[in-house]
Amino acid sequence: MIVNLYSGPALEPVTLDQLKTHLGISSGTIPTDMTPYTCIASGSHAVVTSYSLLGTAVDVLGKTAVVYLTPVNNGTNGTVDVKIQECDTEGGTWTDWATGAFTQVTEATDTTIQEKAYTGTKRYIRTAAKTLVAACEFGTSVMVWEPNVSEDDMLNELITAGRLAVEHDTNRKLITQTWDYYPQSWPNCDRIKIPYGNIQNGESTTPVVTYKDSDGTETTMTVTTDYLVLTNGDQCGFIVLPESGTWPSVTLYPSNPIKIRFTCGYGAAASDVPVTAKQAIKRWCANNYMNRGDNVLGQTVSYDRTYDNMCNLVGRLRDLDFL
């Protein structure tokens, strides 16, 4: 049987969000992946001549961290100096991070926010500050980013692969798609069976039958005059001769002489697809999401009976004898 896909589905029966719900995962967002921590609380800080104004320690191990210095208003001739310190333990000996000094804040720059990404290797960081000449208003904070790994591309690919798997295992097409079927000769009976079931026969989906003679001249047959369409529910449909009709008697072209372009599937919307088929897709996706490596020789590979049962509930087209 020779069949080629002419026009694939416009969408999948299962959405990305539906699969995520089934798997119990999410890709994360900026609000959920980023956490701000106050290091030195914003406010007016009195003169401190040494780096003894210490911020709260923040755990940044294995995460991306950006430290912010947010000045508000310096007192007359006041200056603010801030640096990042690091330590392996929260209560251990803190040292200055080598490149962690911010540019000194003066009255001329007391509205400019500074930021510095921490690229060190310690578990904890904090800020230490000193204020000279006059009290100054400022604060420091640490934004910690620990994103969930987004697997959306892989999940979308799994959905497509899952739909293809269910279609293969049931010999059906689930969502509206158009195929070209190439019988190699006219049958000895009055009908040609069309694969995949759920043949559509509407205003824009009527199967079109064409054939080429030995010279390669293509002729399009006329529906209702030259042939009829028997959709046959969700089973395999047929191209049928009208009463007293005959198949063309010309000598056919030697390669793929007959083409039947047909549209099949439960419908163009995901809601048209049976819930059992969608459950089978999600089951297939879940199994292949959790088992992404190769099967190891000598290990037992489990058989997914639930997926198999779902395919049975969809209904398998077992008779695939075609021309």
At 210 the pLDDT is: 98
Q: Coil, helix or strand for 154?
A: helix
At 24 the pLDDT is: 84
Distance CA 313, CA 278 (A): 11
Q: Coil, helix or strand for 284?
A: helix
Distance CA 2, CA 94 (A): 73
> What domains lie within the chain, and their CATH numbers?
3-25+151-207+265-292+300-314 (no CATH), 30-145 (2.60.120)
- Nearest CA-CA partner of 184 in 252, 230, 277: 252
Query: CA 320 → CA 62, 285, 297, distances in Å?
Result: 56, 27, 34
At 31 the pLDDT is: 73
Phi-psi region of 52 (alpha: psi -120 to 50; beta: other; left: phi over 0): alpha
At 301 the pLDDT is: 57
Consecutive 10-residue averages of pLDDT for the chain (323 residues) = 92 91 78 89 96 96 93 97 96 95 97 96 96 98 80 90 96 96 95 94 93 96 96 94 94 96 95 95 93 62 81 84 58
At 302 the pLDDT is: 63
Is 0.85 topped by the overall pTM? no
